[in-house]
Amino acid sequence: MLYVTKEIRPIYEPDADQQLAWMVWLGQRPESVMRVAERLPPWLLYRLKSTGQLVEMRSFSEDGTVTVAVLKQWNGPHVFERDVFGVDPADLEAVDAEPSEWRGR
């Protein structure tokens, strides 16, 4: 499977059409976006190292930053859902996508 390792459970597993569309999309992006997007596919869940929050990928910027979504599904019912702009990709690490991940925090 493209960009998914056995160690990390994705939010969803892209089918062949989605993988092809992703590769075509990557090929049409500026190099700065392509370099970041190749490392951070949208079907994985990420942890913001600086805050510990679990986030989904939303978009990639030409300045090398990304936009992520902080959602209740991953962080618990008392989280204010929002998109966070200007996130440094170095602050993200892929984690298993399990809705119960936030429990016990």
pLDDT in tens, the chain (105 residues): 344 445 788 999 999 999 999 999 999 999 999 999 999 999 999 999 999 999 999 999 999 999 999 999 999 889 999 999 999 999 999 999 875 554 444
Residue 105: the pLDDT is: 45
Residue 98: the pLDDT is: 75
Residue 90: the pLDDT is: 97
Q: Output the pTM of the full model.
A: 0.86
Query: For the chain, what's the residue count?
Result: 105
Range list of H helices, the chain: 16-27, 31-39, 72-75
Rounded distance between C-alpha atoms, residue 11 and residue 56, angstroms: 9
Query: Which residue do the tokens 């949208």 mark?
Result: 42
